[in-house]
Amino acid sequence: MSELEESLLAKHRKELKDLQATVTGMKKQANKKNRKQVNKKCQELEDNLKSKHQQELKDLKKELGGEEDDEEENDDDEFSPEKLLQQLELEKKEEEGEIDAESVKKQKEEAAMAPGDQKKKKRNRQKERLAKRAAEQDKIREEAQSEAMNQVDYGAIEKQSLDQLCEKMKLVQYDILPDGNCLFASIGDQLKMRHGIEVEVKELRRRAADYIKKHESQFQPFLFDEETLTMGNLDEYVEKIKNTSEWGGDMEILALSKEFDVPISVLMSGRAAHHVNEDGSGSELKLVYYKHVYGLGEHYNSLRDA
């Protein structure tokens, strides 16, 4: 196997290990209500990585295609994207309990055998290489799972803290779908519950974007990037807020609190609640912010009265 192949395999091993840790953490933090979506996202991440690895292997194989002798061609058979894809599928089934470890081992060995009339020496060489790689991948996966299990469960700590705060304040966390629209959907739920105003997410996005654009000088500082010391483009930003599922945050909370002339509070774990437009008229809209509970990232829910 060439140095380029070894380097690519090392890169793939690291990416596979990192993804396994991410997926394990996401599944560990998933609750009953969002488990289906979390599993779907995990599958999407795994599929994307498989496709990426497959393409990189194909590209490298093409690059080395004219320089290999017969023995290296045997390596290519074992190194093919199709073989790696078979390995990943078998490992996934093993992880999910669909087949036992012995069956996985047997099928991996069978996958190493190219169809057609082959020499015994070639088949044995492929089996040895495949078994070695499978053992390495098993070790990587076990290490990643062990690391994930030993990590501090910040999601559980955050959830316990927020549950206690809500109980003390006689509030109930109303689950909103974590699809990128959670802030707007939470504000929409609060407007309906506390003011009898029904507004669709798309309309809330439009009104937030229009308010931000209309009061550009007030919101432009939010787009300053401290790392690059550059100012973001406000026009591009409001277009994303208006026409995509771009996540909303402090800018949109402020904009909608002004647009509807209502105060908004955001309950958070480990810090004081964030209050916006406290001089607004009418009942306060109450939201809760999560940083760790949801494996897919930051999230907002609506807080209803108990």
Same domain, 182 and 73: no
Question: Does residue 287 share a domain with residue 146?
Answer: no
pLDDT of residue 117: 46
Q: Are residues 145 and 170 in the same domain?
A: no
List the one residue out of 183, 177, 246 whose CA is nearest residue 38. 177
Report the distance separating Cα 174 and Cα 303, nearest Å: 6
Are both 182 and 286 inside the same structural domain? yes
Question: Tens of pLDDT along 64-121?
Answer: 764 444 444 444 444 455 555 566 566 655 555 555 556 655 665 665 554 544 444 4
Let me know whether 38 and 95 are in one domain. Answer: yes
**For residues 65 and 111, what is the distance between their CA atoms, to the nearest angstrom?**
22
Looking at the predicted structure, is the pLDDT value of residue 248 above 60?
yes
**How many structural domains is the chain composed of?**
2
pLDDT in tens, 178-212: 889 999 999 999 999 999 999 999 999 999 999 99
- Helix pair 182-195, 201-214: axis angle to 10 deg: 100
Instruction: Name the pLDDT band for 63 (thresholds 50, 70, 90).
Output: confident
**Under 8 Å between Cβ of 26 and 38:** yes
Q: Pull the structure tokens for residue 270.
A: 């480990």
Same domain flag for 45 and 80: yes
Say how many Å lie between the first and final Cα of the chain, rounded. Answer: 65
Inter-CA distances, 211 with 36, 185, 201, 259, Å = 36, 18, 15, 7
Distance separating alpha carbons of residues 242 and 204, to the nearest angstrom: 9
* Domain end among 123, 150, 177: 150
Please give the residue that has the higher pLDDT: either 11 or 159: 159
The percent of residues above 70 in pLDDT, for the chain, comes to 76
If you average pLDDT over residues 146-166, what whole number do you get? 83
DSSP H or E run through 302: strand 299-305
User: What is the pLDDT at residue 70?
Assistant: 43
- Tell me the HSE value of 277 on the side-chain side, using a 13 A CA sphere: 22
> Which of 120, 150, 180 represents a domain boundary (last residue)?
150
Domain assignment of residue 68, given as a range: 3-150
Tell me what the mean pLDDT of segment 271-298 comes to.
91
Rg for the chain, CA atoms, rounded = 26
264-267 vs 285-290, strand pairing mode: parallel
Q: Quickly state the pLDDT bin for 23 (edges 50, 70, 90).
A: confident
Same structural domain for residues 92 and 171? Answer: no
The predicted structure's pLDDT at residue 247: 93
Residues 238 and 128 in one domain: no
Q: Is 121 exposed, middle or buried (0-12, 13-18, 19+ CB in 10 A)?
A: exposed
Question: Could you tell me the CATH number of the domain that includes residue 163?
Answer: 3.90.70.80
Q: Tally Cβ neighbours within 10 Å of residue 88.
A: 18
For residues 229-250, b (16+ Cβ closer than 10 Å) or e, as one string?
A: eeeeebeebbeebbeeebbbee
Q: Which residue has the higher pLDDT, 305 or 131?
A: 305
pLDDT number for residue 88 = 56
Same domain, 134 and 27: yes
- DSSP per position, 246-290: PPP-HHHHHHHHHHTT--EEEE-TTSPPEEE-TT-SSSPEEEEEE
- Could you tell me the two tokens for 77? 């058979």
Tokens of 244: 């995509």
Encoded tokens for 265: 């509070």
CA proximity to 76, closest of 92, 60, 89: 60
* Domain match, 116 and 210 both: no
185 and 126 share one domain? no
Q: What average pLDDT does the chain have? A: 81
Together in a domain, 24 and 141:
yes
Last residue of a domain, one of 83, 118, 150: 150
Spacing of C-alpha 212 from chain mean position: 28
